[in-house]
Amino acid sequence: MRIDIITIFPKMFEPVLNESIIKRAQASKKVKIHVHNLRDYTLDRHRKVDDRPFGGGSGMVMNAEPIFRAVESIIKSVKSKNKPEVILLCPQGEVLSQKLSKTLSQKKHLILICGRYEGVDERVRKYLVDRKISIGDYVLTGGELPAMVLVDSIIRLIPGVLGDKNSLNFESFVGNLLEYPQYTRPANFRRMCVPEILLAGNHKKIEDWRRKEALKKTRKRRPDLLNLRRKRKEQ
């Protein structure tokens, strides 16, 4: 997989892309990530990427031209038969979910556009991007942090990236359930003890216990997930 990120703050990505699983995924060539400075695709000497909105209003709007130029330049340089999925990170997009991350992890090429200021020229949304994604119903100063979240959620789903291929089957939101409680050594810490069933070695009973605990936790903290799970079963 190849991921291209277009931003006016490329240095924000350096700490994230050069640590942990994302770093290992790049080292093992499971993914190639390229960060592009949007200002490199401007035509004026001031490298301006925004302007006042037509019709008045507060704030500034990101210009369409440098964004179009950046995406077109990336596509031309890659020379691939696979059409990239162009994604704009913005509050108006569909909310990121595990299912969406799974879908995107199967793509060959993603181009992520990080919005800023009061947003981007509507012509970018209308004629350039294939998908708009939000990471939640709250306001951030730009699309850089959402892009990092999206990249992390996608890369860990690429086959071979995680050390234990089975670990993905037991994580939160898989099957619309929160993950069951986890414990490790020591079994008795300050008189707080690990449930006996986890120490007995009966894997069938442990599996049943984990499923019940996952359901209990989901019912208490995220009942909406159970409703979604029920609807999918009825379809």
Among 155, 190, 218, where does a domain finish?
155
Same structural domain for residues 93 and 199? Answer: no
pLDDT tens-digit readout, 166-199:
455 555 555 678 889 999 999 999 999 999 999 9
Average pLDDT over residues 204-213: 94
Kindly report the average pLDDT of the chain as a whole number: 91
Residue 166 lies in a domain: no
Residue 59 lies in a domain: yes
**Is the model's pLDDT at 232 over the cut of 80?**
no
Same structural domain for residues 100 and 192? Answer: no
Say which CATH number the domain at 225 has.
1.10.1270.20
Residue 64 lies in a domain: yes
**Is the model's pLDDT at 231 over the cut of 80?**
no
Same structural domain for residues 21 and 101? Answer: yes
Please state the pTM of the whole predicted model: 0.85
CA 158 to chain centre: 13
pLDDT given for residue 182 in this prediction: 92
Residue 161 lies in a domain: no
Cβ atoms of 18 and 10 within 8 Å: the answer is no
Domain that holds residue 25: 2-155
Residue length of the chain: 235
Average pLDDT over residues 70-91: 93
Residue 160 lies in a domain: no
Q: Give a three-class secondary structure readout of the chain.
A: CEEEEEECCHHHHHHHHCCHHHHHHHHCCCCEEEEEEHHHHCCCCCCCCEECCCCCCCCCEECHHHHHHHHHHHHHHHCCCCCCEEEEEEEEEEECCHHHHHHHHCCCEEEEEECECCCECHHHHHHCCCEEEECCCCCCCECHHHHHHHHHHHHCCCCCCCCCCCHHHHCCCHHHCCCCCCCCCCCEECCEECCHHHCCCCHHHHHHHHHHHHHHHHHHHCHHHHHHHHHHHHC
